[in-house]
Structure 1
Amino acid sequence: MLSLWLAAAADHAPIFFENLGLKRYLFAFNTPLGEFQLRWYSLAYLAGIVFAYWHVSKTIKAPGAPLAQRHADDLFFYCTLGVILGGRLGYATFYTGGDTGIPSLWSHPSELIKLWEGGMSFHGGLVGVLLAITWVCWKNGLSFLRVCDYIAIPVPMGMLFGRLANFVNGELWGRVAGSDVAWAMVFPGAGPLPRHPSQLYEALLEGLVLALIMLALFWKTRARWRPGLLVGTFTLGIALARFTVEFFREPDAQLQDFAVRTGLSMGQWLTLPLMAVGLFFIVRALIKPPLGGAAVSTPAADA
């Protein structure tokens, strides 16, 4: 696949997605109820959740952890529910109904459970995760902000997996690209013109770059001792990455008129409050004195 991409880029010929030979699933087999497919998108969600659980379990062994392993186990369960339920309900709220041209999923509750038909909102998933963290922290008397710091670190890896799965699915393609974009691609269902592979832009900015920043901040600096710095960096970083990529990403078909009328896509409008929140927590964390290692309670040692 890489050699095909490089060859096409060399002579500026558009790359045809079908020629990459990608499939939406790892394997498929027939069952009495029909064909079963293990899809890459499902595996991306699973990989992101497993990585997050593994990394949080690793970080709480470092000095100053605000939660114990039993709390991480609870978070793993409730945050998984938050991602799925929040992502689906967020899609139903922001991307269906009104003038979108798609019947509101809220008026057709049975459609909400059809996750296999797509439709997940990052912002809805974020709200779901925050509610899950709030519940676990309240129930166990944990610091909400410090727990969010630890949870935020592995999230970009989940974004990386998810955007790569979007690319393999040939969905969420970008806007029509100019002749100077050597890596432009012709996606099935997107017309004959080559487009930006914006899924890969998102995988790079929201995923790989932000993941490296978050991992470096935790493991190579004392950011963990400044409550809110890690979650603020993540929030601002994901918002800036999404806002930037939206200039190259084709708006959802039902929201193209909205983007033309307002000058920004729905995704960009939803990132503006995230930028403000991220900046607030970064400034707050840098102004306040850092926690001292000896003064920080470590539930992992008490459990």
Structure 2
Amino acid sequence: MLIHPMPDPIAFSIGPLQVHWYGLMYLLAFAQFIALGRLRIRQPHIAAVGWKKEDLDDMLFYGVLGVVIGGRLGEILFYNPSYYFANPADMIAVWKGGMSFHGGFLGVLIAMYIWGRKRGRHLMDIMDFIAPMVPLGYAAGRLGNFINAELPGRVADASLPWAMIWPNVDNLPRHPSPIYQMLVDGILLFIVLWFFARKPRPRMAVAGMFSLLYGCARFFTEYFRTPDYNVSFGGITISAGQMLSVPMIVLGIALLIVAYKRNTVTSPA
């Protein structure tokens, strides 16, 4: 039986400065955004609408604020409001983990809207551009969750070769759900979306495909994760993560319908 290694959440220390693995994963996520962005602006249909290297650095600043502020607020409000309002000092302790993707998604939308107003770009053109760079950053975050021994999976059959005991939870074999979400919601989604976005698509199509695929992938992988809490609708019980993924699925379908109904490829802003 595999046992979670429970590594030290502190990767290394420099004097009084402690560098956490979770922070390193976010640094990796932002670095891959720049690296993939530089590849993306070389694609002919992206270069044709005026995207430049300078846009990446500017967007990253706004995006970091959107991810961190939105992700943390999402974790506080969507998942653990009672805990955080009882322990307000922990609201800013992001190095301990606890970032909501759905909150970060909303935060990035707001940040990109503000950046777009400043630069004269349509919000959906921005989201179409950055969508293929998001899944690998998400995957890095889920790896950080695993290192921190967060988001334990549901109890698994002991015969499952990769079932794992999480010593900080109990002695039962569990699914390594952060790894599932890293692989499916992150890496697999990146591969599909990157190839989809390599060709010119109507405005909103790439963003819509991301929203649809992420919502579906997250809804699926949530079946293997211990839910933060459950919600019931008409006798059907789903987890909080699944509930928050449903609007993304609906949004993705709506964006794709509108995009292909208009059937016009993005033109320069």
The aligned residue for residue 156 of structure 2 is 177
The aligned residue for residue 278 of structure 1 is 252
Deviations 1:55-92 (A, max 9, x none): 22332233343433333322110110000011111111
1:266: how far off?
0.8
| Conservation of the 8 A alpha-carbon contact between 1:71 and 1:136 | no
| Conservation of the 8 A alpha-carbon contact between 2:84 and 2:90 | no
| Conservation of the 8 A alpha-carbon contact between 1:259 and 1:266 | no
| Conservation of the 8 A alpha-carbon contact between 1:170 and 1:188 | no
Greater shift, 143-152 or 114-123, is seen at 114-123
The aligned residue for residue 144 of structure 1 is 123
| Conservation of the 8 A alpha-carbon contact between 2:205 and 2:255 | yes
Q: Normalised by the size of structure 1, how large is the TM-score? A: 0.80
The aligned residue for residue 291 of structure 1 is 265
Select the residue among 45, 51, 55 that pairs with 2:36.
55
State the distance in 1 between where 2:153 and 2:103 align: 22
Select the residue among 216, 221, 234 that pairs with 2:210.
234
The aligned residue for residue 15 of structure 1 is 2
Identify if the C-alpha distance between structure 1 residues 24 and 113 changes in structure 2 by more than 3 Å, giving closer, same or farther: closer
Q: Does 1:28 align with 2:13?
A: yes
State the distance in 1 between where 2:119 and 2:14 align: 44
Q: Does 1:187 align with 2:166?
A: yes
The aligned residue for residue 214 of structure 1 is 193
Q: Which has the larger radius of gyration?
A: 1
The aligned residue for residue 141 of structure 2 is 162
1:218: how far off?
2.2
| Conservation of the 8 A alpha-carbon contact between 2:215 and 2:246 | yes
Deviations 1:243-271 (A, max 9, x none): 1111110123xx36x57996111111000
Q: Normalised by the size of structure 2, how large is the TM-score? A: 0.89
The aligned residue for residue 132 of structure 1 is 111
State the distance in 2 between where 1:61 and 1:133 align: 21
| Conservation of the 8 A alpha-carbon contact between 2:97 and 2:145 | no
1:130: how far off?
0.4
1:118: how far off?
2.7
Q: Does 1:80 align with 2:64?
A: yes
1:143: how far off?
1.8
State the distance in 1 between where 2:159 and 2:260 align: 42
Which stretches of structure 1, 4 residues or more, deviate above 4 A after TM superposition?
Answer: 258-262
State the distance in 2 between where 1:190 and 1:71 align: 44
Identify if the C-alpha distance between structure 1 residues 288 and 159 changes in structure 2 by more than 3 Å, giving closer, same or farther: same
State the distance in 1 between where 2:148 and 2:232 align: 24
Q: Secondary structure at the match of 1:79?
A: helix
1:17: how far off?
1.5
The aligned residue for residue 9 of structure 1 is none
Deviations 1:146-188 (A, max 9, x none): 1101111110001111112212222211000013422100012
Q: Secondary structure at the match of 1:170?
A: coil
| Conservation of the 8 A alpha-carbon contact between 2:97 and 2:148 | no
Greater shift, 186-195 or 165-174, is seen at 165-174
Greater shift, 111-120 or 183-192, is seen at 111-120
Identify if the C-alpha distance between structure 1 residues 259 and 158 changes in structure 2 by more than 3 Å, giving closer, same or farther: farther
State the distance in 2 between where 1:262 and 1:61 align: 47
| Conservation of the 8 A alpha-carbon contact between 2:143 and 2:182 | yes
| Conservation of the 8 A alpha-carbon contact between 1:177 and 1:196 | yes
The aligned residue for residue 83 of structure 2 is 102
Q: Secondary structure at the match of 1:171?
A: coil
State the distance in 2 between where 1:26 and 1:240 align: 33
State the distance in 2 between where 1:280 and 1:111 align: 37
Letter aligned with residue 210 of structure 1: L
| Conservation of the 8 A alpha-carbon contact between 1:251 and 1:259 | no
Select the residue among 205, 215, 218 that pairs with 2:184.
205
| Conservation of the 8 A alpha-carbon contact between 1:235 and 1:277 | yes
Listed as ranges, the gaps of 5+ residues in structure 1 are: 1-13
Q: Secondary structure at the match of 2:13?
A: strand
